[in-house]
Amino acid sequence: MREFTEQELVRRDKVEEIRKIWNPYPERFEITHDLKDARILEDGTNNVRIAGRIVLMRKMGKLSFLTLADIEGRMQVSIKIDLVGEEKYQKFKELIDVGDFLGVTGEVFTTHTGEKTVRADDFTFLGKALKPLPEKFHGLTDIEEVYRNRPVDLIMNEESRMRFLLRSKLIRLIRNYLDSKGYIEIETPILNNKASGALAKPFVTHHNALDIDLYLRIAPETYLKRAIVGGFTKVFEFARCFRNEGIDSSHLQDFTMLEGYGAYLNYKDNMDFLREMLQSVIEELFGTLNITIAGKEVDLSGKWESISFRDLILKYSPIDIDIYNTKESLLAKIKEEKIEIDSEVPLENLGYGNLVDQLYKKVARPNVVGPIFLTEHPTDLSPLARANDDNPNKTDRFQLVINGAEIINAYSELVDPMEQERRLENQAKLKQAGDEEAMVMDTDYIEAMEVGMPPISGWGIGIDRLVQLLTNMDNIKDVVMFPLMRPRD
C-alpha cells in the first residue's frame, strides 16, 4: 500500500471538491496560441486562449498572478476578482495549486515591470497535479533522481529543456539535409535472427509465437545494404540499437544510431559529405563552427585532418601495429610495455582486430581533441568493410574523433560475397574461441549479397554521443530523456 505525504493527501481531497464544480480532468481546451507565440503578441490583442502548467503563483486578495509553462514557453497570467467573478475567484484560491493545468482566455498587456501578461476574463481548470513540484530554486538536486524523474526535471530545469529541444532540432536538421541530398529514410527490423551489423555482444530475447530466440538489433547495417541490393541508391535510418556491453559516462546499452548508405560512393566521398553535413547542422544550431567542448575551443570549420590508425597509436605508444601484426605478438608487446587495458573480455580471448581497438582506446583516443578522421583500420577490426586495394590487411574506413569521442564510423563497404563469407567464417571461429563481440555467420545476408551489390559507402553516427559532445555533458544519460535505470527495489 502506497503512503502519501500530507500535501499529497490535501491535493487528493481537493480533487473531490473540484468534482463538485468542474471536471478535474477535462477532455480538451481549444487554444489560439502556444505560450512562446503568446509572448510576442501586441498589447491589446484580445480573445487570446492559452494553456499550460502553473509553475509559479502568487495568490492575493483580489488580484493573483501565475505563470503557465510548457516545454518551449512561459507566460504570465493575471486573474482579477472583478473579471472572473467573486465565486470563481475564491474557488481558484482554494482549490488550484502550483503544478495544476489551467486554460485562460483574455487580453494581452504589459505590466509596469515589463512582463508580457494575459489578463484573464475567464479560466478553465484542465488537470490536478496530485504531487507537488520541488521547491522552485532547487528543483531536483539528486542526479539519479533527475534520470528517474525526467518529467519533473524538464518542468523545473530550463537547461534540461533547452538540451532536449536542441537534440530534437539536431535530428530534424540532419533529416532535412539528407532529404535534400536524395537520401530516403527506411525502417529495418529490431528483432533479428542473427546478431550482425557490428562487433558487439547482443541482447537475446525469445519469440513465443515462433518459439525461437532472437537478437535485438546491434546495428541496421546488413538490412540497409539489402535495400541497396533491392535498388535504393541512398538510404538512412535513425535506429534504436542494443549492445549488451559495459555502461559508463559515454556508453549506454540502448542508444540511437543514424546509419546511411550510398551506392557508387567510397569512404573518401563520405569524409567530405559528412563533414559538410555536420558543419551545416552545427552552424545552424549554434551560429558558429567555433565551439567549446569540455573547456577546449574546437574549430570545426574547413577541412579536417586525417591520420592512420597505425600512426595515431605510434604517436602515443611505442607499438607499431604493422610490425606487431598478429594477436600473439601484439599481446606480448602490450604486456612488455606494461600497458594496462580494461576489457570485459580477457585479452587472451580477443581477436587481433579487437585487441588493436582496445590498445587504441587506451593509449590514443583519450588524447585526441580533433576533429580528426582516423583511417586505415585493420581488416580484422572491420569484417564488413572493403579491404584496401593496395594493402588487403587494412580497410577503406574512417572514424571521426572529436575530444576523444568517436562520432562517426564509416567505410567503403565490402560487396564481394565470397570475401564476406570468408571473413564471417573467421569471425564465427573467434566467437567460438571466446570473443563475445565477434560476429556470427549470416547466410541470409551472404545470399542477399550474391544477388549483386554496386560499390557502396556507409556510415553510422551515434546521436546520443554527438549531442553529449555538443552540449558539454559529462554523462550520456543527460542527453537521453529516459535512460534505463536499475529499479529502486
**161, 195, 402, 458 from 399: Cα distances, Å:** 31, 22, 10, 12
User: Residue 466 corresponds to which cell in the numbers above?
Assistant: 554527438
The per-residue DSSP string of 312-328 comes to HHHHHSS--TTTS-SHH
**Looking at the DSSP assignment, which residues form a beta bridge with residue 109?**
117
CA–CA dist 428, 421 (Å, integer): 10
- Is 437 in a helix, a strand, or coil? coil
pTM of the model: 0.89
Strands 305-308 and 372-375: parallel
Share of the chain residues as helix, strand and coil, in percent rounded to the nearest 5: 35, 25, 40
Torsion from C-alpha of 385, 388, 367, 370, nearest 10 degrees: -90
User: What cell does 162 get?
Assistant: 533547452
pLDDT of residue 200: 82
What confidence score (pLDDT) does residue 343 get? 81
Spell out the SS3 assignment of 219-253.
CCHHHHHHHHHCCCCEEEEEEEEECCCCCECCECC
Instruction: Confirm if 164 and 153 have CB atoms less than 8 A apart.
Output: no
Cα distances (angstroms) measured from residue 37 to each of 50, 58, 101: 10, 24, 18
The domain made up of 158-479 has a fold known as BirA Bifunctional Protein; domain 2 (3.30.930)
Ordered by start, the domain boundaries in the chain are: 6-133, 158-479
CA dist 419 and 226 (Å) reads 17
The 10 Å Cβ neighbour count of residue 119 is 18
Q: What is the pLDDT of residue 136?
A: 60
Please give the CATH number for the structural domain made up of 6-133. 2.40.50.140
* pLDDT value of residue 85: 96
Q: Name every residue whose Cβ is closer than 8 Å to that of residue 48 and which is 6 or more positions away in sequence.
A: 32, 33, 38, 41, 105, 106, 107, 108, 118
Tell me the pairing of strands 405-412 and 204-207: unpaired
Mean pLDDT, consecutive 10-residue stretches, the chain (489 aa), reads 92 97 96 97 97 96 96 97 96 97 98 96 97 74 88 94 97 98 97 84 95 95 96 98 90 95 97 98 96 90 94 94 91 91 83 88 89 91 85 92 92 92 88 80 93 96 96 95 90
DSSP state letter for 135: P
Q: At what angle do helices 267-286 and 158-180 cross, to 10 degrees?
A: 140
Instruction: Check residue 472 and report its DSSP letter.
Output: T
- Residue 179 CB contacts under 8 Å (≥ 6 apart), including other chains: 185
Phi, psi of 299 (to 5 degrees): -95, 115
pLDDT score of 362: 92
Q: From CA 401, how far away is CA 120, in angstroms rounded?
A: 54
**Region of residue 404 (phi > 0: left; psi between -120 and 50: alpha; otherwise: beta):** left
pLDDT at 333: 92
**Got the DSSP string for 144-171?**
HHHHHTHHHHHHH-HHHHHHHHHHHHHH
The owner of cell 570473443 is 435
CA–CA dist 232, 435 (Å, integer): 34
Which grid cell sits at 102? 489551467
At 139 the pLDDT is 59
CB 378 within 8 A of CB 356: yes
- 118 vs 44: CA distance, rounded Å: 10
pLDDT at 369: 86
Q: What is the pLDDT of residue 320?
A: 95
